[in-house]
Structures are given as C-alpha cells and as structure tokens.
Amino acid sequence: MKRLLSILPLVAAFALAGCHKPAPKTSEAQNARTVRVVTLENQSLSGALAASGDLVSREEASVFPEVSGYRVSKVLVDLGDTVKKGQTLVTLDPALVEAQLAQAEAVASQAQVQAQQAVDQANRVKDLDNAGVLSQEQIDQRRFQARAAQATAGAQAAALKDLRTRITKLSVTAPVSGLILERTVRPGDISATGAATPWFRIARDSEVELAAQLSQDDLAKIKPGQHALVTLPNGASVQGVVRLVSPQIDNQSKLGVVRIHLPLNPDIRVGGFGRAVFTEASGSVAAAPETAVRFDADGASVMVVGPDNHVKHVPVVTGQRGGGYVQLTKGPPIGSRIVQNAAAFLIDGDLIRPDTGAPVLPAKAVGR
C-alpha cells in the first residue's frame, strides 16, 4: 500500500507533462522593432549658416617715434584709453635739442651775414669786367665767394629748420582717433626710429569686427550688407552687418574670411572669439532631422537602413543647423534611408520594420 502511494505522484507528474505544449518559436521578422525611417535629401536651410572667428580691429594704426636718441619724459595715455587724432601721447625731453637749436640759430645768423657781405662785394664789381680797374680773376673770385656764402647760409638755414622740426616731433601724437590696444613705451626709454615694436597700437575709431572663416561653398552664400547675429565670449549677442567678403581662399586651410562690422561696445574686445549666425543666408545641402544624429564617445553617427531592412552604424560630420535639420558634410549618400528617432536603441545588424511616414520634427523647430 505504501509503495502504491509513492508511485501515484510520479504518475500524476508525467500526466501533467504530457498535457503541456511547448511555446511556439518567434522569427526575427516578428521581433523586429517598428521605427520611423526617412530618406536623406537635400534641404534648404535658411538662417542656419554659422561660422566662428577672431574679433579684430577694422583698421589698426601703429605709433612709432619719428626722432632717435631722446629720452621719454612723460607717457600721457594708457591701455584702454580712447584718444583723438592729434592728441599728444608721449613727450620727449627737449633739453638736448634746445641747446642744439640755440647753437644752430647763431650759426645760421652768422652764415647769413657773411653771405650778404659777399654778395655786396660781388655787386661792387658788377660792371667792371674788362675795365682794367681789377683783374678778371679778382672779379670772378668775388662772384664765386658770394655764391659759396649763399650756399653755406642756405645749408645752415636747412639745419636750423631740421632742428625746429625735431622739436615738434618731441610730442608723439595719435595719427587717428580710437582705442589704445597696446602700449610698450615707458618713461626713461630712449626713442629709436625703425624699431620693430610700436609704442602704441590704436584701433581706428574703436571699431571692432568679427573675422569669420567659412568654406568656399558657404562663402558664396554671403553678400555685403547681410545681417548676422554674433555671440561674444561672455555669452551676449549683438547684431552685425557683413562689410567685406574675402576675394581669395587660403591655399592651406581652403577657408575664406568674412568681415562682420559690429556696434561700438566695451564688451567687444580685440583678440576675443566670436560666433556668427547669418540669418539671411540660405542654401540646399544634404541634411537629416536632428533626432536622427546620435552623439557618443566616437562622435556623430546615423543608423542607415539597408535594402534588407538591417541597420548599420555610419559615422557623419555635421555642419549648419536650421528648421530642425542638421547638415551632414560627410556621411551616407543622398537617397540613403536613415532611422529618424530610435537610433540609440539599435545596434549594427538589427532588423527593423520601417515606418516611412512624414518626418516629425522637434517642437523647437516650429516657426524657425
């Protein structure tokens, strides 16, 4: 009886096992995720062209001393000062040249008197040629002495004028109005013409521009007079106007420069970095929805859908943005199918079920 009772549970277990049916296996196609797929096409991105560059002076003036060998007595301006054209920046010690001037004035006066005396003597023999009063040699000698004395007087007068000009150059003045960007001179320095480093650098009229660098293709979309929104290093933004488009492309970088005129603003400093968005530029470029581009440690990429609906990770290089799209300067060819918004959940080789409805752009793109 006990043996029978021990066998009954085993019989019941086998009976239940015989009644259970194994779960049906699912295929890869049945497990495929449905994702939205878009075709990579050329898009017209308006107001999305952006470029970066350095903040530079529209025009700079360098200030050098015009006379050599004089000691700097006073420096009247400093970095960041705004000066006017003709304003005195540095004064040089006049003691040496004043002594030279007094001596030159005396020598010039003496030479003038001697010249007048020689001319008078020459005039006395003006009509005595072949008269027998004086020899022709004596007459010619007086006339020669008069001309020589006049030449000496002229040379002394020129030397005196040079010294007087030097005195005016002892005040080093600003050649233009504007903002002082650099100062290298100090009291006690000795002036020297032909120096490699200027005493001052002045931004003419305090005007600062952004020298933005663009590729040859993008450069063709920019014209003088177009507006640009420029972001400054401190995060503030100002409106600028394109003043000049470079007529040449750099041979090495293959980039051209666009000069953007900026308003006068103390926060705009030469040497800083800025970024411009050209709000009136447009062009047709290969572009994908922003949601289709995935960023990770390896950079930007998209998921390309093959003919068999398997996906493949493809690296891309992004460019300008606008209207919810981002330019792909390097990546899959036009006409490729890419995953719009589920790339982060897929890996190479996954099979998907494409949903080819119209792409849904992010809300922030509306009204751009």
| Residue 143 lies in domain | 95-168
Supply the CATH number for residue 248's domain: 2.40.30.170
Per DSSP, helices labelled H in the chain are 2-19, 28-31, 95-124, 136-168, 216-219
130: β partners: none
In a domain, 262, yes or no: yes
In this predicted structure, what is the pLDDT of residue 27? 61
One domain, residues 72 and 139: no
Residue after which a domain boundary falls, among 215, 246, 280 = 280
In this predicted structure, what is the pLDDT of residue 260? 95
Instruction: Quote the percentage of the chain above a pLDDT of 70.
Output: 82
One domain, residues 272 and 240: yes
In a domain, 131, yes or no: yes
In this predicted structure, what is the pLDDT of residue 358? 59
Of 22-26, 107-111, 237-241, the one with minimum mean pLDDT is 22-26
206 to 132, 140, 211, 242, 345: CA distances (angstroms): 78, 66, 16, 18, 54
Residue after which a domain boundary falls, among 255, 280, 305 = 280
Angstrom distance (rounded) from CA 355 to CA 36? 4
Of 6-15, 187-196, 341-350, the one with minimum mean pLDDT is 6-15
Which of the four pLDDT bands, split at 50, 70 and 90, describes residue 270?
very high
One domain, residues 178 and 87: yes
One domain, residues 101 and 85: no
Supply the CATH number for residue 185's domain: 2.40.50.100
In this predicted structure, what is the pLDDT of residue 343? 65
One domain, residues 155 and 103: yes
In this predicted structure, what is the pLDDT of residue 6? 52
Supply the CATH number for residue 297's domain: 2.40.420.20
In a domain, 102, yes or no: yes
* Tens-place pLDDT, residues 209-267: 999 999 888 888 888 999 999 999 888 899 999 999 999 998 888 899 999 999 998 88
Assign 259 to helix, strand or coil.
strand
In a domain, 337, yes or no: yes
One domain, residues 72 and 188: yes
Segment 5-20 shows an average pLDDT of 50
Cβ-contact 276, 51 below 8 angstroms: yes
Highest mean pLDDT among 205-209, 250-254, 293-297: 205-209
Segment 11-21 shows an average pLDDT of 50
In a domain, 227, yes or no: yes
Residue after which a domain boundary falls, among 118, 152, 168 = 168
One domain, residues 124 and 190: no
In this predicted structure, what is the pLDDT of residue 108? 79
Which of the four pLDDT bands, split at 50, 70 and 90, describes residue 159?
confident
Angstrom distance (rounded) from CA 169 to CA 157? 19
Residues 6+ apart with CB under 8 A from 55: 208, 209, 210, 211, 232, 262, 268, 269, 270, 271, 272, 273, 274
User: Residue 58, Cβ neighbours under 10 Å: how many?
Assistant: 18
In a domain, 255, yes or no: yes
Residues 6+ apart with CB under 8 A from 243: 58, 209, 224, 259, 260, 261
One domain, residues 243 and 289: no
- Kindly report the backbone phi and psi dihedral angles of residue 108, in degrees, each rounded to the nearest multiple of 5, phi listed first: -65, -40
Segment 188-208 shows an average pLDDT of 93
Supply the CATH number for residue 126's domain: 1.10.287
In the structure encoding, which two tokens stand for residue 1, read together? 């009886």
**Does residue 321 surpass a pLDDT of 90?**
no
In a domain, 234, yes or no: yes
The residue among 357 and 153 whose pLDDT is bigger is 153
**Does residue 42 surpass a pLDDT of 70?**
yes
In this predicted structure, what is the pLDDT of residue 366? 37
One domain, residues 326 and 355: yes
In a domain, 23, yes or no: no
Segment 53-71 shows an average pLDDT of 93
One domain, residues 146 and 186: no
How many structural domains is the chain composed of? 4
One domain, residues 87 and 175: yes
One domain, residues 34 and 69: no
